[in-house]
Amino acid sequence: MNEPLTPGISAIQQDRQVCLVCNMDSSISENPEICPCCHSDIAPRIKRSQQKTWALLITAMIFIIPANVYPITYLLKNSTLYPDTIYSGLITLIRNDQEGIALIVFIASILVPIFKILALAFIALTVHFRWQLNPKKQFIAFSIVEWVGRWSILDLFVISIMVAVFDKGSLVSVYPGIAATSFTIVVITTLFAAESFDTRLIWDSNNNAK
Ligand SMILES: [Zn+2]
């Protein structure tokens, strides 16, 4: 039976690590790489967590530009192709008295992705430069990012609602534009960036700086 951990000191400083498969905690020095219980690979921290998070975040930062600049949908109406960016789509919705849907699209397509990228980059920077912040608040911020991320895929459904709104009795064909692909890349990379970030690094950077 393992000794209970002392609160206020990180497990790594107490020579302890937890297996992410079976939840068994063991000594780092006695079982450096293999879980003694289920024999899975084990490490006190996610390997190369910061590098993975940054690589995915930078990809998201790049793809958010075409997602906003290029057309997200093409409407084929009376043999004319109408391109729509996120912004022109918003304006069309407002002109058609669909302010409610416009607000959802604005939050899901513009506010949420930008907030997620900035918040994750900020948390990753605080860990990288070991800025002295309240780790509990950092952890809450990270939890919000993770929670919001689960809903960001909703935007792709909102785009379909937008398409339905445009279609008022006339025969319309809709094609996804380059921004739709870019937007999907932003959603997926930010999800994985949050996933690969090891939140325990927040406590490490605060512990070691003291
Ligand atoms: Zn295990």
Sorted by where each begins, the domain ranges of the chain are 1-44, 49-209
For 128-184, what is each residue's pLDDT tens digit?
A: 888 877 888 888 888 888 888 777 666 666 666 666 666 555 566 778 889 888 988
Cα of 18 to ligand 1 centre, how many Å?
8
Kindly report the pTM of this predicted structure.
0.79
Residues 6+ apart with CB under 8 A from 169: none
Cα of 24 to ligand 1 centre, how many Å?
6
3-class secondary structure, 7: coil
The Cα–Cα gap between 200 and 86 comes to 37
Cα of 3 to ligand 1 centre, how many Å?
18
Nearest residue to 65 via CA among 86, 91, 83, 90: 86
Assign 210 a pLDDT band (cuts: 50, 70, 90).
very low
For 183-194, what is each residue's pLDDT tens digit?
A: 889 988 988 998
